[in-house]
């Protein structure tokens, strides 16, 4: 299965796709199996797997469990070159285009490329844009790059356009995992109105209402991670999925695409 086309299909069918990020450091064993099943029965469209830091989690095992438990795709969201696994369905081939750290723009990609070729992994070239989100996030600290100021959406637009013109197939507007505040709606709107490729929004989304707002602002894919690391929140996975799936969920039919004035 071509995962990029799968995601485009979900976006066109449901209005937007909902992906859950699994950090192998945070969940494993039976809890992981239970979580994956719960996500599938709640309408989640797939999984991202990875993290800025990998302390003791096992990425390969996590992906294997996903493959055993569901038919949903497992896409690597790499925090580093050690996070390339042959079991995955695809890898977000990220370039941290908001930063000026050459290691994260192209250096690590060169190191990972031969492995990706050997594993015959599908790559989804993605312009990764870090946005200021209230405090320093792990992604910002580890990558040694400055995020785009939240009140400068025009910088995000120019950055996203440059990524698109370089051939990237998706733009990831990232507040950073556990962000205090998510990427501003206004920035999502301006970026999605200006690029032709799907915009992913993630980082600090903790309610179905916020997820829905990001879709109404123009995001085509919503990613949440932290919020469902707490098992007490699992009951609301379906609520999040329904909120993201603006075209198909009965009670969300009123959603409208953002009006672009350009
Ligand atoms: C992080 O965008 C993802 O890369 C998810 O963020 O963990 O804050 O939901 P959260």
Q: What is the pLDDT of residues 100-158, one digit of tens each?
A: 999 999 999 999 999 999 999 999 999 999 999 999 999 999 999 999 999 999 999 99
pTM over 0.75: yes
pLDDT for 1 equals 85
| Cβ contact 85:59 at 8 Å | yes
**Mean pLDDT: which of 45-59, 60-74, 243-257 is highest?**
60-74
Tell me, rounded to whole angstroms, the distance of Cα 238 from its chain centroid: 18
The CA-CA-CA angle for residues 234, 237, 238, to 5°, reads 130
Mean pLDDT of all residues in the chain?
Answer: 94
For the Cβ of 22 lying below 6 angstroms from any atom of ligand 1, the answer is no
For the Cβ of 129 lying below 6 angstroms from any atom of ligand 1, the answer is no
| Cβ contact 140:104 at 8 Å | no
Question: Where do the domains of the chain lie?
Answer: 3-244
pLDDT for 162 equals 98
User: Residue 46 half-sphere exposure, CB side, CA atoms within 13 Å?
Assistant: 23
Mean pLDDT of 247-253: 67
pLDDT for 256 equals 67
- SS3 of 130, please? strand
pLDDT for 149 equals 98
200 has a pLDDT exceeding 90: yes
* Spatial distance between the Cα atoms of 143 and 103, rounded to a whole number of angstroms: 9
**CA 225 / ligand 1 centre spacing (Å):** 5
Of 249, 248, 237, the residue nearest 40 (C-alpha): 237
Q: Of all atoms in ligand 1, which is nearest to the CA of residue 139?
A: 4
Q: Which of 223, 228, 233, 244 to mutate to test the pocket of ligand 1 (most atoms within 8 A of CB)?
A: 223
* Spatial distance between the Cα atoms of 114 and 93, rounded to a whole number of angstroms: 13
Task: Tell the CATH superfamily of the 3-244 domain.
Answer: FMN-linked oxidoreductases (3.20.20.390)
């Amino acid at each position: 299965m071509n995962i990029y086309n799968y995601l485009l299909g979900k976006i066109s069918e449901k209005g937007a796709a909902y992906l859950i990020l699994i950090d192998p450091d945070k969940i494993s064993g039976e809890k992981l199996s239970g979580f994956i099943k719960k996500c599938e029965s709640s309408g989640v469209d797939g999984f991202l797997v990875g993290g800025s830091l990998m302390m003791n989690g096992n990425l390969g095992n996590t992906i294997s469990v996903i493959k055993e438990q569901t038919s949903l795709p497992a896409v690597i969201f790499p925090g580093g070159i050690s996070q390339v696994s042959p079991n995955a369905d695809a890898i977000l081939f990220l370039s941290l285009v908001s930063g000026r750290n050459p290691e994260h723009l192209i250096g690590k990609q060169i190191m990972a490329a031969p492995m990706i070729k050997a594993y015959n992994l599908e790559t989804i070239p993605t312009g990764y844009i870090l946005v200021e989100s209230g405090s320093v996030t792990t992604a910002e600290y580890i990558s040694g790059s400055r995020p785009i100021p939240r009140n400068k959406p025009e910088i995000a637009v120019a950055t996203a356009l440059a990524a698109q013109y370089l051939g990237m197939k998706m733009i990831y507007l990232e507040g950073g995992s556990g962000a205090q505040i998510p990427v501003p709606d206004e920035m999502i709107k301006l970026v999605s109105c200006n690029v032709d490729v799907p915009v992913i929004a993630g980082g600090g989304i903790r309610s179905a209402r916020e997820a829905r707002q990001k879709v109404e602002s123009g995001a085509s894919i919503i990613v949440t991670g932290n919020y469902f690391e707490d098992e007490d929140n699992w009951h609301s996975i379906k609520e999040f999925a329904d909120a993201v799936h603006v075209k198909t969920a009965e009670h969300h039919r009123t959603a409208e695409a953002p009006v672009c004035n350009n």
